[in-house]
Amino acid sequence: MLPFALKLVWCILCLLGTVLSWAAFMALGSLMGTTWAPLCFCIAVTMYEGMFCLGMIWRMDPSSMPRAFCIAQTLVMEVSMFFLGGICMALCIATSLHILKPKKWGNIQTSFKWRSIYVLPVIIYPLAASGIQLALAFKTNAIQAANDMYCDATNPLWVRLTGHAIPVVLIFPSAVLSVISIRRVIRTLKHVERARQDDHELPRQMRREHRHLGLKGSSPTSPCPSEEMFPPSPGRQLVHPRFPVQASHQRMGFHLPFFRRMKTFSGHPSPPLPSPSPRPADGDTDSVASSSFPTFAPMIDPKDKLFPTRSRDEEQDRLSRDLGPWEDDGHVSSATTSVTGHDRSQEDLKTLDQAQEDDGTFHLSYIDSEATPTHISHMAVVPQVTPQIHRLIVFQISFPIFIMFVSLSTIIDVAKHRSTPTPFGTQHVVLLTNAWAPAIVFGSLKGVRQNIVSFCRSRWR
């Protein structure tokens, strides 16, 4: 006969674990945006642990319990155990479906809603398993008093083993889903790590983004403004003061480097160049300077020049250095130096990056400089393994282990051909694990603790 002190401690621990599991699992449900799974799990745990603790009325001695209570205790605990297994299986399916979509790892609220596929493990499986087990128990009259903490099918023992063996059918699918989830997490994390370390091998990905944004149709870069924008003045030649007057307009045209007429990514045309200043009145033609040179603004100190005059090759070299490595696809493309145009390009690139929805592609965009894109790096929506996913994987792995553990003592008893079950076995340990597992696995989550604290404060005020 087991000591009463052990039974009392077991009863207290089971009740305390059930209360904590309610708090932890319901807070987790609020965090995940679902209530059906936490509520069903907590109800099943309460039925299982509650029927066990009701035996304390008879000091948890099955020989002292009434026959009707003994049958009711066996029936409720068996059905609750099958119901718990079905809910855990549904959670395993939901966890795997969530992990298989890394883009949604940060949005766990949409992954644990009720699906029609959950009818099979949550409703059909418990009813079928309970019907088989109870039919065998009543047919063989296996519900007998024994040296135990609660009533169960103990004579013959193979009926009890049947009740513990039926959940084994859930081990294989849950184990397969656990392996798939773990492999998916490992592969995704390795992919993210490679993407972060691959900063020197970007041309191929940049070329793909370049084609995707439709930059092939952009016009070639011209260092000089077209003659349409700067029509030559009749009878006069615009000549830079530093060069001889005989220089041709085509060679020494006064221009602004880098300024293009192409459209930005957003489709808006670049801001037009300021129109030339009106010429002085024709009546004032006595000055030699006025007849030879156009009117210029005051000269700017060379140190403060915004657009120093350089050769075409020098400007292209400087632009190449600013842009960094860029693999050309048979055309020349450069970034607009206009601050407004570049800001629009940044916004469009970010919008296009966020609109992509493939699991394995990490897009590129510019960061740092506001004037020219001097640095290129990954700006992808990188999947993050949230703490909730860690805990759900632990819960998913623990489920098949618990199934095997609960039947271990009964398997040993049947193998040794015992007529009565072991007074204290692994099934009694599972009484505690069922009550405490949610509190231990999910209670350490920061969001769960915050939900519990906020709930308590709102109730106690």
Assess whether 121 and 38 both reside in one domain. yes
Nearest-5° angle of CA 235, CA 258, CA 322?
155
Distances (CA, A) of 371 to 98, 344, 351, 367, 378: 41, 12, 20, 11, 19
Give yes or no for residue 157 having a pLDDT over 50.
Answer: yes
Is 251 part of a structural domain of the chain? yes
Q: Mean pLDDT throughout 32-60?
A: 91
Assess whether 118 and 183 both reside in one domain. yes
Give yes or no for residue 353 having a pLDDT over 60.
Answer: no
Give yes or no for residue 298 having a pLDDT over 60.
Answer: no
**Residue of higher predicted confidence among 413 and 273:** 413
Identify the weakest region by mean pLDDT among 56-65, 132-141, 250-259, 434-443: 250-259
Give the range with max mean pLDDT: 15-24, 25-34, 91-100, 322-331: 15-24
Other Cβ atoms closer than 10 A to 436: 20
- The pLDDT assigned to 356 comes to 45
Q: Mean pLDDT throughout 58-73?
A: 90
Give yes or no for residue 365 having a pLDDT over 70.
Answer: no
Assess whether 68 and 175 both reside in one domain. yes
- The pLDDT assigned to 297 comes to 53
Is 81 part of a structural domain of the chain? yes
Other Cβ atoms closer than 10 A to 113: 14
**What sign does the CA torsion over 5, 7, 12, 16 have?**
positive
- The pLDDT assigned to 112 comes to 82
- The alpha carbon of 300 is separated from its chain's Cα centroid by a whole number of angstroms, namely 55
- The pLDDT assigned to 106 comes to 65
Q: Mean pLDDT throughout 113-126?
A: 91
Assess whether 279 and 131 both reside in one domain. no
Distances (CA, A) of 418 to 48, 155, 164, 222, 223: 26, 10, 17, 94, 96
Query: Which CATH number characterizes residue 69's domain?
Result: 1.20.1070.10
DSSP string, 145-160: --SSSS-EE-SSHHHH
Is 208 part of a structural domain of the chain? no
Using pLDDT thresholds of 50, 70 and 90, give the confidence band for residue 164.
confident
Is 22 part of a structural domain of the chain? yes
- The pLDDT assigned to 39 comes to 92
The residue type of 226 is S
Q: Mean pLDDT throughout 79-89?
A: 91
Structure-token match 């079905």, residue found:
86
Q: Rounded distance, CA 162 to CA 421, Å?
A: 14
Q: What percent of the chain is modeled with pLDDT above 90?
A: 14
Choose the final residue of a domain: 372, 399, 434. Answer: 372
Q: Mean pLDDT throughout 284-309?
A: 48
- The pLDDT assigned to 123 comes to 92
**Residue of higher predicted confidence among 351 and 430:** 430
Is 179 part of a structural domain of the chain? yes
Give the range with max mean pLDDT: 269-278, 416-425, 430-439: 430-439
Q: Mean pLDDT throughout 74-85?
A: 91
Phi and psi torsions of 11, nearest 5°: -65, -45
Is 330 part of a structural domain of the chain? no
Q: Mean pLDDT throughout 9-21?
A: 93
Assess whether 12 and 132 both reside in one domain. yes
Using pLDDT thresholds of 50, 70 and 90, give the confidence band for residue 451.
confident
Using pLDDT thresholds of 50, 70 and 90, give the confidence band for residue 213.
low
Give yes or no for residue 84 having a pLDDT over 80.
Answer: yes
Assess whether 452 and 308 both reside in one domain. no
Q: What is the mean pLDDT of the chain?
A: 70
Assess whether 368 and 388 both reside in one domain. no
Q: Are 178 and 172 in contact (CB under 8 A)?
A: no
Domain that holds residue 83: 4-194+384-460
Q: Rounded distance, CA 331 to CA 207, Å?
A: 12
Is 405 part of a structural domain of the chain? yes
Structure-token match 């570049």, residue found:
342
Number of structural domains in the chain: 2
Instruction: Please give the span between the terminal C-alpha atoms of the chain, in angstroms, as a whole number.
Output: 48
Residue 316: Cβ-neighbour burial (10 angstroms; 0-12, 13-18, 19+): middle
- The pLDDT assigned to 201 comes to 55
- Say what angle helices 36-54 and 426-442 make with each other, to 10 degrees: 140
List Cβ neighbours of 337 (8 Å cut-off, separation of 6 or more): 258, 259, 371, 372
Assess whether 18 and 158 both reside in one domain. yes
Give yes or no for residue 440 having a pLDDT over 60.
Answer: yes
- The pLDDT assigned to 15 comes to 93
Assess whether 247 and 318 both reside in one domain. yes
- The pLDDT assigned to 48 comes to 93
Is 224 part of a structural domain of the chain? no
Using pLDDT thresholds of 50, 70 and 90, give the confidence band for residue 461.
low
**Residue of higher predicted confidence among 103 and 50:** 50
Distances (CA, A) of 187 to 92, 102, 204, 390, 425: 19, 11, 22, 15, 40
Assess whether 183 and 56 both reside in one domain. yes
Q: Mean pLDDT throughout 295-304?
A: 51
Assess whether 166 and 100 both reside in one domain. yes
**What sign does the CA torsion over 293, 296, 301, 305 have?**
negative
Strands 152-153 and 143-144, bridge-based pairing: antiparallel
Give yes or no for residue 42 having a pLDDT over 60.
Answer: yes
- The pLDDT assigned to 177 comes to 86
Using pLDDT thresholds of 50, 70 and 90, give the confidence band for residue 219.
very low
Give yes or no for residue 47 having a pLDDT over 90.
Answer: yes
Give yes or no for residue 148 having a pLDDT over 60.
Answer: yes
Residue 376 bridge partners (DSSP): 366
Assess whether 163 and 47 both reside in one domain. yes
List Cβ neighbours of 362 (8 Å cut-off, separation of 6 or more): 192, 195, 205, 378, 380, 382
- The pLDDT assigned to 346 comes to 52
List Cβ neighbours of 159 (8 Å cut-off, separation of 6 or more): 133, 136, 137, 140, 142, 153
Q: What is the DSSP letter of 106?
A: T
- The pLDDT assigned to 11 comes to 93
- The pLDDT assigned to 16 comes to 94
- The pLDDT assigned to 314 comes to 59
Identify the weakest region by mean pLDDT among 28-37, 194-203, 344-353: 344-353
